[in-house]
Structure 1
Amino acid sequence: MQALIFDCDGVLVDTERDGHRVAFNEAFQKHGLDVEWDVEQYAELLKVGGGKERMKHYFDQNGYPEEVNDQEAFIKTLHADKTEIFMDLIKSGKLPVRPGIKRIIDEALGEAIQVMICSTSNVKAVTAIAETLVGIERKKRMKGIFAGDMAKKKKPDPEIYNLAKTTLELDPKQCLVIEDSRNGLLAAKAAGMHCLVTLSTYTIHEDLKEADRIVPDMENDGEPLTLEDLKNLII
C-alpha cells in the first residue's frame, strides 16, 4: 500500500445530517429565506456533489428569491456563510470522529504510508475537521488535503482523486480510498483506485456493489479492521 486516502464527510465524521444540513438551514434563515431542508429532502439533494452545486440545483428547480439579480454571487455568499456556521459546529466538538478512524490513521502513519484527505467539500471546512476532530498532529503528518474548488468537477467525477494521484505521483493500484457514498465510490474507481466503503446515515441503502469491501465502520461491529486487512484489499 502506497497511500491511504480518506473522504471527509460521512467517513471521518458523520457530518451530513447534523452538520452540513443544519448549517445550510441556518444560512438560509440568516438571509431571511423561507427554505428549510428536512432529513429526507437532504438525502435527495446529496445526490448532487458539492455544496454550491447542491444549492444551485435546489434554487434552479425551485426558483430564486425575486431580489436576486446575480445567481452566482447569491450562491457564493450563501455558501460562505454556511461554511462559517459549519466550522463553528466543528470547533464546538459536538460531532464525534467515527469509530476506528484515529487508530487506522496512526497505524498507517506508523508504517510510513502516505495518508491524505480527498473531498469535494469546502477546503476550510475539511481542514477544520482534520485539525479539530481528527487531531492537528495527525493532520500535520498527512501528505495533504485535496478539497473544494481544487477540482472543478465533483464526485462521481474522479478529478479530486486524479489531482492527488498526479500531485503525489501515486500508483492508483497501490492506493486504497475510504468512502461512504456511491458518488465517492465511483470517483475512486474511475481514478483506478481500490475502495472500502464505511456506511453512514445517508448512504446505508445505496448501491455499493463496486466496493472492494463494505463495513459499518472501521470497528466493524466488534471485529476491528486492521491495517493488514486494508492492505489485503489491494493485493
Structure 2
Amino acid sequence: MAEFPAMDTVLGSRGRPLPSALLFDVDGTLADTEGVGHRPAYNDAFAEFGLAWHWSAELYRSLLVVAGGRERLHYYLERDRPPLNGQAEAAARDPAAWVDAIHRSKTRHFEHRLAAGAVPLRPGVARLMREAAGQGCRLALVTNASRPSLDLMCRHLLPADLQQAIAVTACGDEVTDKKPAPDLYSLALEKLQLTAGECLAVEDAGSGLAAARAAGIACVVAYNDDTAEQDFALASLVVDHLGEPDQPFVRQRGADLPAGHLRFGDLAPLLR
C-alpha cells in the first residue's frame, strides 16, 4: 500500500481540526447520474432489446433500494414480472448472461450521455473539491459502481485537475458487501491510512449515509429528487446541494453554517 506523507493539522474558522480527507460518493452525489444518466440509459437499452419496458422516475426510485445495476435488473424481473416479448427464450436459456447483455447496452448508452455533456456536476462539487485539495485535504471516491463504471464517470464528469486530485478510490467490485454495508468506507480508510474521525463523507442517499456511519465516519447528505424523502437522521448536515456563492443551498437539518454554500474551512463542526 502506498505510504502517504504526514499531514499538518489544518484548523477551520473556529479553531477546530478540519477533515484530513473528504470521501465522496459518485452516483447522485457528484452528479445527478441516476435521473438524467442511468434511468434514460436503461430505457434506451430496453428499446434496443425490443422490450416494452419503461422505467419512470417513480418506478426507478423504488428500484434504487437495490445496490448495483445488474442486481437492480434481477430485482425488477422478480418483483414486477414484466413481459419479455421476443426475449423470453434468451432470458430462460441463461438469465444471468441475458441481464448482463442488457446492462452492457445500458452502460454504452450511459457513456454516450456522459460524452454528450448531458450529466453535469451538481452545484458546489468542483468548488468544494478544489478548496479541500488546495488545503492539503485528500479526496476519495467511494462508490458501489464497478471500476470500469467509475473510470468512465471520472473521465467524463471531472475536469482534469480534479481527476488528478483524487488520492484513493473504493469500488463495488473490491468488496463483498456494497453500501449500506460499511465495507467500502472501511476499505477507503485503509487505503488512506486515516481514522474515521479524521474524515468526512459526502453522500446523497440513505444507504450511503448508513454505510459511512457504520464505518464511524461523519456524513454530509446532499440529497436529490430521487432521495429527498429518505431518512437522514444520522447526518451531520442535510442540504439539497453543496451550494455556490450565487446559488445557496437549502438546509433541511443539521449544523447551521455561516454561508449558504459548503466551504471547506467551515467543515470542522461536522466531524464527530
> TM class, shorter-chain normalised?
over 0.9
Q: Which has the higher helix share?
A: 1
Matched, 1:113 2:121: no
Alignment correspondent of 2:68 = 50
| Deviation for aligned residue 1:139 | 0.9
SS at match of 1:44: helix
Q: Deviations over 1:60-115 (max 9, x none)?
A: 22346521222221222221221121111111112221111111100111111110
TM-score (norm 1): 0.94
Structure 2 regions of 5+ residues with no counterpart?
1-18, 244-248, 251-258
The letter for the 2-side match of 1:9 is: D
| Deviation for aligned residue 1:234 | 0.9
Conserved? CA contact 2:168–2:191, under 8 Å: no
Alignment correspondent of 2:32 = 14
Conserved? CA contact 2:46–2:53, under 8 Å: yes
Q: Distance in 2 between matches of 1:41 and 1:167?
A: 37
Conserved? CA contact 1:120–1:148, under 8 Å: yes
Runs of 4+, deviation exceeding 3 Å: 62-65
Structure 1 regions of 5+ residues with no counterpart?
none
- In the TM superposition, what are the counterparts of 1:45-124 in structure 2 within 5 Å? 45-63=63-81, 65-67=87-89, 68=91, 69-124=93-148
Q: Distance in 1 between matches of 2:141 and 2:125?
A: 12
Q: Percent identity between the aligned chains?
A: 34
TM-score (norm 2): 0.81
Matched, 1:138 2:162: yes
Q: What's the Cα RMSD here? A: 1.6
Q: How many residues align?
A: 235
Matched, 1:190 2:214: yes
Alignment correspondent of 2:178 = 154
Q: Distance in 2 between matches of 1:132 and 1:141?
A: 15
Alignment correspondent of 1:225 = 262
The letter for the 2-side match of 1:138 is: L
Conserved? CA contact 1:130–1:136, under 8 Å: no
Q: Distance in 1 between matches of 2:137 and 2:128?
A: 11
Q: Distance in 2 between matches of 1:29 and 1:122?
A: 24
Pair 122,29 (structure 1): closer, same or farther in 2 beyond 3 Å? farther
SS at match of 1:115: strand
Conserved? CA contact 1:127–1:145, under 8 Å: no
Q: Distance in 2 between matches of 1:40 and 1:179?
A: 21
Q: Distance in 1 between matches of 2:128 and 2:107?
A: 28
Q: Distance in 2 between matches of 1:153 and 1:77?
A: 23
Conserved? CA contact 1:91–1:128, under 8 Å: no
Q: Deviations over 1:8-27 (max 9, x none)?
A: 11111012112110111111
Conserved? CA contact 1:195–1:212, under 8 Å: yes
The letter for the 2-side match of 1:165 is: L
Q: Distance in 1 between matches of 2:118 and 2:36?
A: 10
Q: Over alpha carbons, which structure has the higher Rg?
A: 2
